[in-house]
Structure 1
Amino acid sequence: MKGLGKYWGWAVFAVLIAAWLTSAFGPGVLLTLSALSTVYFFFRVPAWCGASGREGTCRNNSQGVLMGCHLRQHKWQKFKLVVVRERWRQLARELFPNATSALATIGGVLAVLSGVASVLQPFWGKGW
């Protein structure tokens, strides 16, 4: 995608926040917006790769904070950080190396929490 098209997830996230603040939408819409935001922030947002290499961290462009760059080894390295429990501390360091990745990580975590809350919302009603 070129231009502003690669930043569509920020608009979806803004609509998600507005939907929670106004309480005008039901849990299905909130869950859909949360899922779209989660996919965007973790797998589509423009970011740097950040995988460890011989010359330090990789500065190639990647899509999403959980994806590596065009190099296959970097994609596997990022995938192993998520799956292998002993690497979670390193994953936490790599998700917050700069402001762009930190904002994307925080947005993704908020989108996941929003999805969980939208699933639980019918059990507690709209009063919370």
Structure 2
Amino acid sequence: MKGFGKYWGWIVFVVLIAGWLTLNFGPVVLLALSGISAFYFFFNVPVWCGAEGRGGSCRNNSHGALMGCHLRQHKFQKLKMIFWSARWARLRQELFQNATTALASLGGILAVTSGVAATLQPLFGGGW
């Protein structure tokens, strides 16, 4: 995608936040918006790769905070780190290495939290 099209997830995220602030959307819509937003931030937002290489952190463009660049070794390096507790500190450093990656990571975390809250709120008799 070129131009503004690669930033479509930010619009979905703003609609999600507006839905929570106004409570005009039901839990199903909030859950769907949360899932779409989390997918965008973790697997589609344009950021730098940041995978550990021989010369330091990789500066190639990648798609998503959890994905690597075009290099085969970097493709799923961050995604694999989620499942190894010994590498969580390194994953945290890579997900919050600069402002762009930190915003993408924070947006993904908020989207997942929103999805969990949208799922649990009707179960506890809240709002709807």
Please indicate, yes or no, whether the TM-score normalized by the shorter chain is above 0.5.
Answer: yes
Q: Distance in 2 between matches of 1:108 and 1:53?
A: 25
- The yes-or-no answer on 1:7 pairing with 2:10 is no
Other-structure match for 1:90: 90
TM-score, structure 1 length as denominator?
0.96
Among all aligned residue pairs of Structure 1 and Structure 2, give the percentage whose two residues are the same amino acid: 67
Match of 1:73, SS? coil
TM-score, structure 2 length as denominator?
0.96
Q: CA deviation at 1:127?
A: 4.2
Q: Distance in 1 between matches of 2:83 and 2:53?
A: 20
Other-structure match for 1:114: 114
Structure 1 segments, 4+ long, off by >4 Å, are none
Q: Distance in 1 between matches of 2:127 and 2:30?
A: 16
Q: Distance in 1 between matches of 2:79 and 2:53?
A: 15
Other-structure match for 2:60: 60
User: In structure 1, what residue type is equivalent to 2:68?
Assistant: G
Superposed CA RMSD: 1.2
Other-structure match for 1:81: 81
Structure 1: where are the runs of 5+ without partners?
none
Deviations 1:26-49 (A, max 9, x none): 000000000000000000000000
